Structure 1
Amino acid sequence: MTELHELFLKRLAQTSDAPIALEISRAEGCWLVAADGRRYLDLIAGIGVSALGHGHPNVIAAIEAQARRHLHVMVYGEYVIEAQVQLARRLTELLPTKLERVYFTNSGAEAIEGTLKVARKATGREAFAAFDGAYHGDTMGALALAGNPAFRAPFGNLPGPVRHLPFGDSAALDQIDSTIAAVVIEPVQAEGGVRIPAASFMRSLRDRCDQVGALLVFDEVLTGFGRTGKLFALEHFGVVPDIIVMAKALGGGMPLGAFCGSDDLIGTLSHDPPLGHLTTFGGHPLSCAAALASLEVIVADDLSARAAMIGADLARRLREINAPEMTAIRAIGLLIGIEFAEAQFAHRFVAETISRGVIVNWTLNADKVVRLAPPLTIEAAEIDFAVARMIEALDATRQERQVVR
């Protein structure tokens, strides 16, 4: 164990009892390079952040250029910062028409918090609806929406009330009534096990929200920016939400979140009282510059279509493995869930895959599911490498279980 590794365990707050603890010295393209020189193919893109891979030259150039101009100069929203304005302009050009005003934040969870404030202020209602299997972040309001009770329970009474509904069940939508300020949903659940709802369910949800006057919020923190084979996952369903929440790949590798809606909705935060929502570092100029550069590459290179094509091929190859332990492959673009018959097998498969130089992970709210979400720029030879190593990991996991038994 290196000195840095020891300090990591001793001085840095830990998020689990068993962190992966790879000591990363640099990252390039789809690869992470550890301190011992070993290379790892990043098949989760830093949990959906690095859509262009690591160190894309356009993003690095944008960061360098902005750093030479200025860093932080004022709390968000008070000065005219070119990087913020140009990014907001470009986002609203690419989103449906009524999503016309952007509020930048530091993260997806903070964007969810701002959205909940908008919903309460705009509707005069207090309650929210969310779905089983949902993940919207770990701040108190975002945690209240979480679909896994095990994550909510230790923290006592959370903001709410929140009504949790079964994901994808149109019959349950009658529980959305005139007490609900907003319904918050991921158009595709990532931490829920890559669950993809029917378009009919999403249309029924939109209709029900309209009937009772509730806002519809799409959390596209992970599904946005080409991940699902469309620039935004909402395009798969023909449904436009009242507010869209973005983060992860938005920042091009830098910390950045946002929520976006109509002038009337987002404008509620600017009056009665003014400064109804503030953030010091939200929309940091470096993050916005990186985000705009990343977005332009995604659009110019049509990486959404590339994700659809490569994702379909990768899913096909995984299905052809035909391992009895793998009970389902769910895929939409380059967001793929491999469901196993047993959670223990899934977790051991993750460890065996990482040991062979490919980074994968299981999902928080579906412990039998392993998620793949590689950079949208991943090459065919890298897919070959990943599939070969996963086959080896399957065999090793299978043999290990036979020995234990």
Structure 2
Amino acid sequence: MSALLPTYQRHDIELVEGTGSFVTDTKGQRYLDFMMGIAVCNTGHRHPYVQHAVEEQLQKLWHTSNLFISSKQERVAELLTKGSHLSHVFFCNSGAEANEGAFKLIRKWTQKTEILTFSQSFHGRTFAMMAATGQDKIKAGFGEMVPDFKHLMFNDFKSLERITEQTAAVWLEVIQGEGGVILADNDWLQALMAQAKKYDVKIVIDEVQTGIGRTGSRYAFEQTPLQPDIITVAKGLASGFPVGAIITTPVAATVFTPGTHGSTFGGNPLAMTAAEATLELLLPDEQMQQVQQKGMYLMEQLSELKGTMIREVRGRGLMVGIECRQAVAPLIQALQQIGLLVVSAGPNVLRLLPSLFVTESELDLAIEKIKSVCQQEVMM
């Protein structure tokens, strides 16, 4: 009997080693990893540049209080805000923590409580973020939710009329990851931005899954008309080390003042070392261009499979959803058996989240495996 609480529906695989795009389990089976810890290991497994930086830091200092100056935090904050209208960063340990902090910031900043989010969104499993999430299944059994979160229809123009002077913030994902890899329409985002400006409503973008180069730009919102007041990031920020961040504008620095928020482990030296090395690898323009090109190639090749079990292929950069004509749980199991790891995004969508350094030959291998499974399913 396991001593762990059964909060995860685990696959019967224990991964013990990884390099680049590949991982190996306890039985010696090798897998091409197109999950990457669910969009966490954006540089692949154990990238030598990140590993070397962390090994050096291990010989120096592991933890210090945030009551002291941290030049590493300053450098990472500069990389996260450089060249944008965003200017200030708070470091924590996860995406849910970043979103909770953003919730506090919005409440104190606006002195209003109504926050509008969207159906099929996902913002975390802490108590406030359950309320923010537009999926009833994660709220079941927990009683009354934190009030004043209202859920609108995603990509629906009529819903935007719900934004009024009573609204503190509109909170959204530019691409709904857990909700099925659903892309926001740019015309709809333009209308959302206009309505928010009309009533001085803040815009919060959850970039926990889409940020740090996943979509072919530093943040997904940079490919849209949006100019957010706050974004939250985490997953891909430190190549697998726990870290999250709230990124915001200069005005917020007059709201989050000493004593208003904190995190014991947030921005610790190991996490900041990994984050700095990760950002140095991922953010150069040529790397972002490669992510866009590889993503287009992957989606073009997969789109040729439509008519089998595949209904639609959608995404941006190397965040790709394959909507299938059946439940995808059996397909995920079948792909595992032939050495490819993928994850679902709802009951009928396969989600592909490879390393941002994935090679074309690795993309071709994944496509070949997906094609073989889809054709087998058709034959059945």
Whether 1:353 aligns to 2:368 is: no
Whether 1:87 aligns to 2:71 is: no
Tell me the SS of whatever aligns to 2:213: coil
Q: CA deviation at 1:269?
A: 2.0
Amino acid at match of 2:333: A
Q: 1:66 aligns with which of 52, 57, 68?
A: 57
Tell me the SS of whatever aligns to 1:63: helix
Question: What TM-score results when the alignment is normalised by the length of structure 2?
Answer: 0.96
Could you tell me the percent identity over the aligned residues? 32
Q: 1:171 aligns with which of 153, 158, 181?
A: 158
> What does 1:114-263 align with in structure 2 at a 5 Å threshold?
114-263=101-250
Partner of residue 12, structure 1: 4
Q: CA deviation at 1:137?
A: 0.8
Deviations 1:308-362 (A, max 9, x none): 101111111111123332111112111111101222xx21111101111000111
Q: CA RMSD in A?
A: 1.5
Partner of residue 56, structure 1: 47
Amino acid at match of 2:21: C
Q: CA deviation at 1:302?
A: 2.8
Tell me the SS of whatever aligns to 2:362: helix
Partner of residue 305, structure 1: 289
Tell me how far apart the structure 2 counterparts of residues 381 and 301 of structure 1 sit (CA, whole Å). 22
Amino acid at match of 1:10: S
Give the conservation status (yes or no) of the 8 Å contact 1:310–1:334.
yes
Partner of residue 97, structure 2: 110
Q: CA deviation at 1:44?
A: 1.6
> What does 1:287-302 align with in structure 2 at a 5 Å threshold?
287-300=271-284, 302=286
Deviations 1:208-245 (A, max 9, x none): 11112221001111111211122211111132100011
Amino acid at match of 1:242: D
Tell me how far apart the structure 2 counterparts of residues 302 and 223 of structure 1 sit (CA, whole Å). 19
Tell me how far apart the structure 2 counterparts of residues 219 and 392 of structure 1 sit (CA, whole Å). 35
Name segments (4+ residues, structure 1) moved above 6 Å: none
Give the conservation status (yes or no) of the 8 Å contact 1:176–1:208.
yes
Give the conservation status (yes or no) of the 8 Å contact 1:348–1:397.
no
Tell me the SS of whatever aligns to 1:269: coil
Partner of residue 3, structure 1: none
Extract unaligned runs of 5+ from structure 2.
Answer: none
Give the conservation status (yes or no) of the 8 Å contact 1:312–1:331.
no
**Bigger share in helix:** 1
Whether 1:281 aligns to 2:265 is: yes
> What does 1:262-273 align with in structure 2 at a 5 Å threshold?
262-270=249-257
Tell me the SS of whatever aligns to 1:153: coil
Partner of residue 335, structure 1: 319
Tell me how far apart the structure 2 counterparts of residues 138 and 266 of structure 1 sit (CA, whole Å). 27
Amino acid at match of 2:19: E
Tell me the SS of whatever aligns to 2:320: strand
Q: CA deviation at 1:27?
A: 0.7
Give the conservation status (yes or no) of the 8 Å contact 1:251–1:287.
yes
Deviates further, 369-378 or 19-28: 19-28
Q: 2:355 aligns with which of 353, 365, 375?
A: 375
Partner of residue 4, structure 1: none
